[in-house]
Amino acid sequence: GENVEQHPSTLSVQEGDSAVIKCTYSDSASNYFPWYKQELGKRPQLIIDIRSNVGEKKDQRIAVTLNKTAKHFSLHITETQPEDSAVYFCAAPKETSGSRLTFGEGTQLTVNP
Amino acid sequence: DAMVIQNPRYQVTQFGKPVTLSCSQTLNHNVMYWYQQKSSQAPKLLFHYYDKDFNNEADTPDNFQSRRPNTSFCFLDIRSPGLGDAAMYLCATSRDFSGEETQYFGPGTRLLVL
């Protein structure tokens, strides 16, 4: 089954700086990689995802890059704001033929004003 | 508009007293999932339904059961809750089971076991 590792576990940045969170996965056949943001006491919300036919995807201040050869993908947040403070989870499919997800352990991002 | 709804948002039960958590969806999605999330941890998949087909994760305790009476509703039954079952329980849905499907989460039910 898929194994997903996420780093760092905590990340503190100053408002306006960039933040980068990295994940590695084990199954080279995986082809879908979502990122979820979870604020304290709330549901995980999908913020961006990438499929294996592209290497990068951007949505305003958020971007995700995928390196299938190295089996890692990264979340990039530019011009961070205090409201970006949350726990971020990466995920990958447990198997290629289904939609069950394995989540990384999460990164607590704190953006200091 | 709420798309994945969970009730109640907070549930208190006693040690060993059965409890049922509910999830409903207005998305008409084929797949529904139940996750357990403990404090400061990632969501952990317990099981999922693809339409009426039930699929248990290998490490889900027998204490946890699920029912899906129709497309819209799915229930999580905890037969004899222990202190270690206190957690946030998240329901999620996806349109299908293709391997590239987005999962949409409900707000969760926080379970407290006394």
pLDDT digits (tens, 9 = 90+) for A53-74: 789 999 999 999 999 999 999 9
Query: Which residues is B5 bridged to in the sheet?
Result: B24
Q: Alpha helix locations (H) across chain B?
A: none
| pLDDT digit string, tens, across residues B56-108 | 988 899 999 999 999 999 999 999 999 999 999 999 999 988 878 899 999 99
C-alpha B78/C-alpha B87 separation (Å) is 12
Who wins on pLDDT, A99 or A77? A77
| pLDDT digit string, tens, across residues B20-33 | 999 999 999 999 99
C-alpha B51/C-alpha B80 separation (Å) is 27
The pLDDT of residue A48: 96
Name the pLDDT band for A93 (thresholds 50, 70, 90). confident
Helix (H) or strand (E) run with residue A54 in it:
none
C-alpha A74/C-alpha A63 separation (Å) is 8
Strand boundaries in A52-104, DSSP class E? 56-59, 62-67, 72-77, 86-93, 101-103
Distance in Å, alpha carbon of B52 to nearest chain A alpha carbon: 16
Residues of B in contact with A99 (CB under 8 A): 31, 94, 96-101, 103
C-alpha A90/C-alpha B94 separation (Å) is 17
C-alpha A63/C-alpha B22 separation (Å) is 35
In this structure, what token pair is assigned to residue B46? 């317990």
Is the Cβ–Cβ distance between B106 and B23 less than 8 Å? yes
Q: Classify the phi-psi angles of A70: left when phi > 0, otherwise alpha if psi is within -120 to 50, otherwise beta.
A: alpha
B101: nearest CA partner in chain A: A99
Say yes or no to pLDDT of B1 above 80.
Answer: no
Residues of A in contact with B44 (CB under 8 A): 103
C-alpha B102/C-alpha A17 separation (Å) is 29
Name the pLDDT band for A27 (thresholds 50, 70, 90). confident
C-alpha A77/C-alpha A35 separation (Å) is 12
Chain B within 8 Å of A39 (Cβ-Cβ)? no
Distance in Å, alpha carbon of A40 to nearest chain B alpha carbon: 10
C-alpha A89/C-alpha A103 separation (Å) is 6
> C-alpha distances in angstroms, A66 versus A36, A63, B22, B111?
16, 10, 36, 37
Is the Cβ–Cβ distance between A90 and A74 less than 8 Å? no
Name the pLDDT band for A1 (thresholds 50, 70, 90). low
Residues of B in contact with A93 (CB under 8 A): 99-100
Who wins on pLDDT, A95 or B40? B40
